[in-house]
Amino acid sequence: VRIVNVCLAERSYPIYITHSEIYEFGNCIKEHFKHNQVVIITNPTVDKLYSEVVTNSLKSAGYNVNKFIIPDGEEYKNIEWVIKAFDFLLENKYERQTGIIALGGGVIGDIAGFIASTYMRGVPLVQFPTTLLAQVDSSIGGKVGVNHPKLKNAIGAFYQPKCVFIDLSVLKTLPMEELKNGLTEVIKHGFILDSNFFEYLESRIKLLQELDAGVLLHAVSHSCEIKAYVVHRDERESGLRAILNYGHTIGHCIEQLTHYTRYKHGEAVAIGMVVESLIALKMKMIDREIFERQLGILKKADLPTTFPDLKVEDIIKSMRYDKKVQYGKVRFILPTAIGKVVIRDDVPDQIIVNAIMEMPKTS
Ligand SMILES: NC(=O)c1ccc[n+]([C@@H]2O[C@H](COP(=O)([O-])OP(=O)(O)OC[C@H]3O[C@@H](n4cnc5c(N)ncnc54)[C@H](O)[C@@H]3O)[C@@H](O)[C@H]2O)c1
Ligand SMILES: [Zn+2]
């Protein structure tokens, strides 16, 4: 078991990274869940694949296990399903010490985390992420919440788990589309903060896609370390944590303007990373080689790097409505080198427009 620590004073917690050791889960969480009542929150897809082995491991560690299932899909990450979960927990008389286990991808992690953060003013939470995106990104750092019809992730809280348990073997059942979704965030982590890691990925991205055990372990643990470092430095996103939004300013606009149907999040962010590094190139913050290297690795990972058929004016308009706009200024995270970014809110519209116009178009 490899351990990466998230250091947040009294809210610190470990991320356990294992391979084919789900049976260890129950023992692993013993020091985090003292009470013997636990509820797994999951969806039908993950339930079929992993509930049984997880439940068995919990039972042999002495836990009483119950399960609450939310349908599979982002559209169920809403307040109605939070209330249904509250009904279930209250009907079963679960008290304040009951442990909640979020078993699934980012959708389950976010909603189960939110349920844990509010039920009885907060019950202990363990994240058991089963998608690559959830393992390297959403399960770490305590952002939990649900969507509002008017805005994604509009309702939420910061609520750190007691621990995160990752078993890399669960990625074997993950569709390639979903794996690529998470790869974007792994590549992003290297590109914004760690040039050595970025280089490591440049030569091993195919092995990573093939789930080579050694590469996977290194890439996931290193990615977790980077996310943990950022969260340690800035838990509530008052500064540094915003750098994780690299590629997301444009990425979010693309997702929104294509109604969240055409692209996976990671795909939209990959396009966003290309546009945003092109902006940095136009602002003479990086040279072309850096732009090309990022483009190269995204292509190797089969991520989209061409711009969809969207109107530039609509992109600019949508950018201004994003919740990350502070005091009317659009904030960009821009590279200055591989492994280094800065936060800028003074990018002229014309440069954004030029960068988008210059992007090769999706045919
Ligand atoms: N809290 C944060 O900091 C944070 C960060 C990034 C994203 N998010 C949120 O994460 C969500 C996206 O998460 P996601 O990309 O993991 O999507 P997801 O949770 O929808 O999972 C993708 C699909 O994979 C299936 N699945 C999960 N694990 C599997 C496995 N091991 N084998 C086979 N299928 C499996 C799921 O059932 C689902 O159909 C969004 O709601 C986003 O807002 C949160
Ligand atoms: Zn993201």
Q: Which of 6, 82, 107, 153 to mutate to test the pocket of ligand 1 (most atoms within 8 A of CB)?
A: 107
Minimum mean pLDDT range among 13-17, 139-143, 247-251, 322-326? 322-326
Average pLDDT of the segment spanning 109-115: 98
74 lines ligand 1 (CB under 6 A): yes
42 lines ligand 1 (CB under 6 A): no
As a whole number of angstroms, the distance between CA 295 and CA 298 comes to 5
pLDDT of 321: 76
Which of these, 168, 165, 144, 148, lies nearest to 156 by C-alpha position? 144
Tell me the pLDDT of the chain averaged across its residues. Answer: 96
Q: How far is the CA of 172 from the centre of ligand 1 (A)?
A: 15
pLDDT of 320: 84
DSSP codes of every residue in 179-222: HHHHHHHHHHHHHHH-HHHHHHHHHHHHHHHTT-HHHHHHHHHH
Is 60 exceeded by the pLDDT of residue 260?
yes
Residue whose CA is at the smallest distance from ligand 1 atom 14: 106
Average pLDDT of the segment spanning 99-105: 98
46 lines ligand 1 (CB under 6 A): yes
Instruction: Record the tokens describing residue 20, joined without a space.
Output: 């084919």
Q: Residue 149 to residues 74, 110, 113, 157, 229: CA-CA distances in angstroms?
A: 12, 16, 20, 18, 33
Average pLDDT of the segment spanning 64-81: 98
Average pLDDT of the segment spanning 120-149: 98
The confidence band for 306, taking pLDDT boundaries of 50, 70 and 90, is very high
54 lines ligand 1 (CB under 6 A): no
227 included as an active-site residue: yes
Q: pTM of the predicted model, to two decimals?
A: 0.97
Is 90 exceeded by the pLDDT of residue 47?
yes
pLDDT of 326: 60
Average pLDDT of the segment spanning 140-161: 96
181 lines ligand 1 (CB under 6 A): yes
Is 60 exceeded by the pLDDT of residue 324?
no
Q: Which of 133, 186, 211, 220 to mutate to test the pocket of ligand 1 (most atoms within 8 A of CB)?
A: 133
As a whole number of angstroms, the distance between CA 146 and CA 343 comes to 27
Q: How far is the CA of 261 from the centre of ligand 1 (A)?
A: 15
Q: How far is the CA of 135 from the centre of ligand 1 (A)?
A: 9
Strand order in the sheet with 99-104: 2-6, 13-18, 163-167, 125-129, 99-104, 37-42, 64-69
Is 60 exceeded by the pLDDT of residue 323?
no
Is 60 exceeded by the pLDDT of residue 285?
yes
Q: How far is the CA of 264 from the centre of ligand 2 (A)?
A: 10
Average pLDDT of the segment spanning 90-105: 98
245 included as an active-site residue: yes
Considering the candidates 248, 264, 282, 331, report the single residue annotated as catalytic. Answer: 248
Is 90 exceeded by the pLDDT of residue 78?
yes
265 included as an active-site residue: yes
Helix and strand totals (H; E) in the chain: 14, 11
Average pLDDT of the segment spanning 114-119: 98
